[in-house]
């Protein structure tokens, strides 16, 4: 019993590391753009890895070879789909127009086997509660829906109002769990003197900080390990241990 436990433990570690490496090789689309092809790949590779870890009735090498071959075949198909538009359409399908000028295209909806309540749910997730405000709604190959509002229902932009806002920037993580990320400090053209001065104003040290970041406007956001609230908000509806 103990011997089998150790074998499963070792196999599980090998399967986990192999899966991590192969997933990185396959690229981010394995997680992000879950088309039908990617979905099947994820399930199959995960199933092989699970069998690799727990099936003691067969040699581990067999499952490792199967996992490797399936990953290689997947990479080959990914390359082919980059070069051949026809095969891409066969594997991942095309985007499908399901709403045009506020009218539902039932034939296209039925072809994609999407029910009306599923369509309205996806529209709500896009903050669309009135179908008549849509020019188009497109069902993407990964199952998500893209919407285009009619011009009169589109929100105003800075360009519409002839405004010229400053260039957008990203938030930069600076301190995580009391550890300073010096590289990010340099990327935002800041130095330790600037950071020390900011912390002195708040009478805290780096070790007191759970998370800190330089915001797009160059201000420093700080969240301490010890948070203090004048009044604690309770989202529960009853008094209990949880």
Tokens 């209990």: give the residue. 240
Mean pLDDT of the chain: 82
- The answer to whether the beta carbons of residues 52 and 63 sit under 8 Å apart is yes
Indicate if the pLDDT at residue 61 is higher than 80: yes
> What DSSP assignment string belongs to 134-161?
EEEEEE-TTS-EEEEE-GGGSPP-TTTT
Which tokens sit at 82?
């980059």
Q: Which of 78 and 205 is assigned the larger pLDDT?
A: 205
Among candidates 81, 63, 61, which has minimal Cα distance to 71? Answer: 63
- Greatest distance between any 2 Cα atoms in the chain: 74
pLDDT in tens, 228-239: 666 665 655 666
Average pLDDT of span 83-93: 69
pLDDT given for residue 197 in this prediction: 94
| DSSP reduced 3-state for 209 | strand
Name the pLDDT band for 149 (thresholds 50, 70, 90).
very high
Indicate if the pLDDT at residue 31 is higher than 50: no
**Burial (Cβ within 10 Å: 0-12, 13-18, ≥19) of residue 53:** buried
Strand partners, 103: 100
Tokens 């026809």: give the residue. 86
Indicate if the pLDDT at residue 75 is higher than 60: yes
pTM of the model: 0.55
- The answer to whether the beta carbons of residues 15 and 46 sit under 8 Å apart is no
Q: How far apart are CA 210 and CA 205, in angstroms?
A: 11
Q: How far apart are CA 97 and CA 137, in angstroms?
A: 6
pLDDT in tens, 104-131: 999 998 888 889 989 999 999 999 999 9
Instruction: List strands edge to edge, sheet with 172-176.
Output: 179-180, 172-176, 209-214, 220-224
Q: How far apart are CA 99 and CA 144, in angstroms?
A: 14
Indicate if the pLDDT at residue 201 is higher than 50: yes
DSSP state of 238: S
Indicate if the pLDDT at residue 57 is higher than 90: no
Name the pLDDT band for 176 (thresholds 50, 70, 90).
very high
Average pLDDT of span 192-208: 93
């Amino acid at each position: 019993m103990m011997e089998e436990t150790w074998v499963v433990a070792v196999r599980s570690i090998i399967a986990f590391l192999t899966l991590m490496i192969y997933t990185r090789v396959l690229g981010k689309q394995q997680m992000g753009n879950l088309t039908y092809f990617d979905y099947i790949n994820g399930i199959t590779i995960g199933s092989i890895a699970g069998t690799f870890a727990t099936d003691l009735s067969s040699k581990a090498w067999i499952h490792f070879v199967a996992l490797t071959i399936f990953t290689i075949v997947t990479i080959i198909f990914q390359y082919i789909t980059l070069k051949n538009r026809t095969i891409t359409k066969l594997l991942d399908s095309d985007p499908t127009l399901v709403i045009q000028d506020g009218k539902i295209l039932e034939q296209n909806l039925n072809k994609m086997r999407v029910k009306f309540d599923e369509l309205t749910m996806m529209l709500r997730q896009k903050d669309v509660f009135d179908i008549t405000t849509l020019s188009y709604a497109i069902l993407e190959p990964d199952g998500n829906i893209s919407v285009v509002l009619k011009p009169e229902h589109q929100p105003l932009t800075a360009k519409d109002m002839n405004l010229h806002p400053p260039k957008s920037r990203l938030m930069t993580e600076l301190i995580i769990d009391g550890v300073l990320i010096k590289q990010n400090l340099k990327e935002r053209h800041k130095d330790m003197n600037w950071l020390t001065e900011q912390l002195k104003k708040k009478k805290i040290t780096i070790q007191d900080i759970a998370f800190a970041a330089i915001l797009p406007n160059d201000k420093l956001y700080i969240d301490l390990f010890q948070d203090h609230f004048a009044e604690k908000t309770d989202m529960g509806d009853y008094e209990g241990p949880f």
